[in-house]
Amino acid sequence: MDQQWMYANRRSKEFIDGVHYFLRVAEANRQRGFICCPCNKCKNQKEYSASRTIHFHLFELGFMPSYNCWTSHGEQGVEMEEDEVEDDNIPDFAQYVGFEGNQTGEEEIAADGNDVADDLGQMLQDAREDCESEKEGHKLDKMLEDHRTSLYPGCEQGHKKLDTTLELLQWKAKNGVSDKAFGDLLKLVKNILPGGNKLPETTYEAKKIVCPLGLEVHKIHACPNDCILYRGEEYENLEACPVCKALRYKIRRDDPGEVDGQLTKKRIPAKVMWYFPIIPRLRRLFRNKGNARMLRWHAEERQQDGMLRHPADGSQWRNIDRKFKEFGKDARNIRFGLSTDGMNPFGEMSSGHSTWPVTMCIYNLPPWLCMKRKYIMMPIIIQGPKQPGNDIDVYLRPLVEDLKQLWKKEGVPMWDEDKQEEFNLRALLFVTINDWPALSNLSRQSNKGYKACTHCMDETESTYLKHCRKVVYMGHRRFLAANHPVRKKGKHFEHKADHRTKPKHRSGKTVFAMVKDLKVVFGKGPGSQHIESEDGHAAMWKKNSIFWELPYWEFLDVRHAIDVMHLTKNLCVNLLGFLGVYGKSKDTLEARNDLKHMEQRGDLHPEPKEKGSHYLSTASYTLSKAEKESMFECLESIKVPSGYSTNIKRIISTKEKKFINLKSHDCHVLMTQLLPVVIRGILPDNVRATITKLCAFMNAISQKVIDPDRLEALQNEVVQCLVSFELIFPPSFFNIMTHLLCHLVKEIRILGPMYLHNMFPFERYMGVLKKYVRNRARPEASIAKGYGTEEVIEFCVEFIEDLRPIGVPESRHEGRLRGKGTLGRKAIMTVDNNLFRKAHFTVLQHSSLVAPYIEEHLALVRARNIGKSDAWITRHHIDTFPAWL
């Protein structure tokens, strides 16, 4: 068939008939349910399930250049030259579609444009077909009707009621607009639009339009003392807790009734948790083609060059694949990361209300997506005002049951939109990420006292300080290499050598043997009790965590990761406190008295003075007034890129020469970048060098790509820093966070880069959850409602073209390279071809790899142009060498 019509006038009948013919051909040769779009913008790089979308693109943009052979739409062979004869074996496409090329095909595409043949309409149609409930079916029918309904009569832009409402709701969620402000905006826009428009008038009406696609949420009653959940055959119908006898409901007397004037009683649950089942959410992820492809990224697109870029590069991921071969065989099987922490939903210090959301991330995704808001799920939210503490296992029960179901060999049936096939999905909990107190609540391993280290366990070396009244953790020489010379030196370490080996790694099976006999009755009421095991491990373990019920939990090398975000903040504040530039100085009389009590470093012992006061001699780490002035002058002069950190002038007080209001990210920037700069030229060499080396270590482990060959050197460096600190600072410096530094490299080797298992993304997500609070009397209910609504909006937006998702933020630098930055449009330099060729040749001739070819080409030019001058030869060589090469 002659295809010259493809580049004719797009208003001509020839082009219109040809497009309809092309769409019939494309429909007959769909690949996995999708059609490539050959318009001048998409150029066969994008696929759509609806031919209507391609129809719009072709009439608006036209065909891509030189697409006379439809290879992406079923045509085989190559484009023929004018003198070639058509191959009889190439099929005539008309026989597949059953019509002649001059037909218009109006019967296929409705004239009023109210079909549902786009991605969103197809998704709604599929949801309607899969719907089993008649009531839900009617709701989806109404949603489909809204998708077909124009926003107002005669709308030429093709705006539909549902699409416009979704776009407005997405704008509301992305910018954190309140319900009241959004309602006022709807009224304003509705008045601006022509009469008879279908735009909803209130926020409630707007949310009601999309509510049929909402996922299920279970509101589960709980004992106010955290003893049980009222669910299951055993507890579902009880009126009081069998453990502490607390009543399930609170009685509230409402207003008098209209008939008899008597006060009516309303039963309100004493405590509630909200559970969002994770399996339906996973189904929705796989129903989107792009998400389904991304969930295989770790196996198909991850760069595998031996570097640590992703949890899949760590040893724990590989061990799981080796141990459970059936699980590792399918790249779609999911690894979860779990985090939980308390938050104040009101965002104010005067309230002690503590709400506990449980959040999960998906490690199958690329590292730049797996921690983003869009892909963080919140399966559980626990009502305040008090935290659940060690009884959090009671609230994790529904989630653990879902995780058990996802681990079964038969898995859960899912539809993969990308591969167009049904498969059985399995999933496991890969690691938990929590701050230090929450880590203890989940694992219930004691992280206070003499055995506080979760890695060293009963081999933790600890000392109680009599005057500071706290336990400290020293003796880091045992983490050095066995032949390290510092092990033998005892002059500065109480004249004793240290030949002990470092604490051995405890496998999951060994740890499970410690806790399997522990029994506990959960709750805070009079009926709760803890029964210790007979082998004495109960001093270190307070319960048998619910996660041990997962069949694979004992095979994980690291089950609860150390949170580097809180560790860095604690370390930074501790260090600045001893330097005397943050808060009250930690170089106190009690710290010096502990040195005296331990008979160490006599030059720092306090000297008694009159009236019971003491004189504290200047230590090596003490900053003088001049050194502080130099340090803060340097800080004031530092300028960093936009978005790199907070405004440094806001976190320092020049008058008091101290840091103020340090946040977690401020501490991260100080410890990884700024502190080594501002202490240059001050402090003694040994103190300055040690602090700089520690900051270099923190910077190295914070990188997104880590060379595993450097891990051993990093481990040696951080241990040497800790040993040096034992010679510089008093014992009170060595709290548990300082000790945990020596275990970070081990976790990187097992779990992958550190930035993928810290609390930064989850803390940011809790900031998003706080913005959902509209009713301060019911903050958790507001969060549950807002989370469910945003989830529906996110799901629908994925099927609307040219709308960016809410939870994948655009870079603040996006567009600046194209001259659209905040400093105004940049002038565009134009270079003529002659100057460009000379610049190209200049770059090439400075490469050692290109040098042999320059000589070869120069000899070739001379041989072909005998008799030409050297100047001509040189000019011709410069002009033709890049193309020849």
DSSP letter for 827, please.
P
Mean pLDDT value across residues 534-541: 60
The β-bridge relationship of strands 519-521 and 529-531 is antiparallel
Distance CA 272, CA 381 (A): 9
Q: Is 803 exposed, middle or buried (0-12, 13-18, 19+ CB in 10 A)?
A: middle
Mean pLDDT value across residues 154-183: 82
Q: What is the pLDDT of residues 862-875, one digit of tens each?
A: 898 888 888 888 88
**How many CA atoms are closer than 13 Å to the CA of 238, on its beta-carbon side?**
21
Which is higher by pLDDT, 611 or 624? 624
Q: Token pair for residue 265?
A: 């009683």
Counting other chains too, the contacts that 860-867 makes at CB distance below 8 Å and 24 or more residues apart are 860/884
Q: What is the pLDDT of residue 297?
A: 93
Residue 742 has pLDDT above 90, yes or no: yes
DSSP letter for 144, please.
H
Contact (Cβ atoms closer than 8 angstroms) between residue 20 and residue 111? no
Q: Which residues pair with 478 in a beta bridge?
A: none
- The least confident of 158-172, 229-243, 363-377 is 158-172
Q: What is the pLDDT of residue 142?
A: 79
Residue 591 has pLDDT above 80, yes or no: yes
Q: What is the mean pLDDT of the chain?
A: 83
Residue 533 has pLDDT above 70, yes or no: no
Distance CA 572, CA 868 (A): 73
Residue 491 has pLDDT above 60, yes or no: yes
Mean pLDDT value across residues 814-826: 50
CA dihedral 385, 391, 393, 399 (to 10 degrees): -20
Mean pLDDT value across residues 445-450: 87
**How many CA atoms are closer than 13 Å to the CA of 11, on its beta-carbon side?**
0
**SS3 of residue 54 by DSSP:** helix
Q: What is the pLDDT of residue 149?
A: 83
Which is higher by pLDDT, 80 or 606? 606
Domain ranges of the chain: 4-97, 119-215, 218-272, 276-433, 564-609+619-756, 833-884
Which is higher by pLDDT, 782 or 836? 782
Residue 91 has pLDDT above 60, yes or no: no
Residue 458 has pLDDT above 50, yes or no: yes
Mean pLDDT value across residues 508-530: 81
Q: What is the pLDDT of residues 31-44, one digit of tens each?
A: 766 788 888 888 88
Q: What is the pLDDT of residue 100?
A: 35
Q: What is the pLDDT of residue 824?
A: 47
Helix or strand run (H / E) with residue 263: strand 263-269
Q: Token pair for residue 451?
A: 């055995």
Q: What is the pLDDT of residues 270-321, one digit of tens each?
A: 999 999 999 989 988 998 888 999 999 999 999 989 999 999 999 999 999 9
Contact (Cβ atoms closer than 8 angstroms) between residue 547 and residue 400? yes
DSSP letter for 557, please.
S
Q: Is 504 exposed, middle or buried (0-12, 13-18, 19+ CB in 10 A)?
A: exposed
Contact (Cβ atoms closer than 8 angstroms) between residue 210 and residue 796? yes
Q: What is the pLDDT of residues 662-692, one digit of tens each?
A: 999 999 999 999 999 999 989 999 999 999 9
Q: What is the pLDDT of residue 420?
A: 85
Residue 180 has pLDDT above 90, yes or no: no
Which is higher by pLDDT, 80 or 654? 654
- The least confident of 254-268, 447-461, 679-693, 812-826 is 812-826
Band of residue 81 on the pLDDT scale cut at 50, 70, 90: very low
Q: What is the pLDDT of residues 100-135, one digit of tens each?
A: 333 333 333 333 333 444 667 777 777 766 666 676
Band of residue 514 on the pLDDT scale cut at 50, 70, 90: confident
Mean pLDDT value across residues 376-405: 93
Q: Which residues pair with 36 in a beta bridge?
A: 47
Q: What is the pLDDT of residue 789?
A: 84
Band of residue 30 on the pLDDT scale cut at 50, 70, 90: confident
Residue 97 has pLDDT above 90, yes or no: no
- Provide the b/e sequence for 599-609 (b: ≥16 CB within 10 Å): ebeeebbbeee
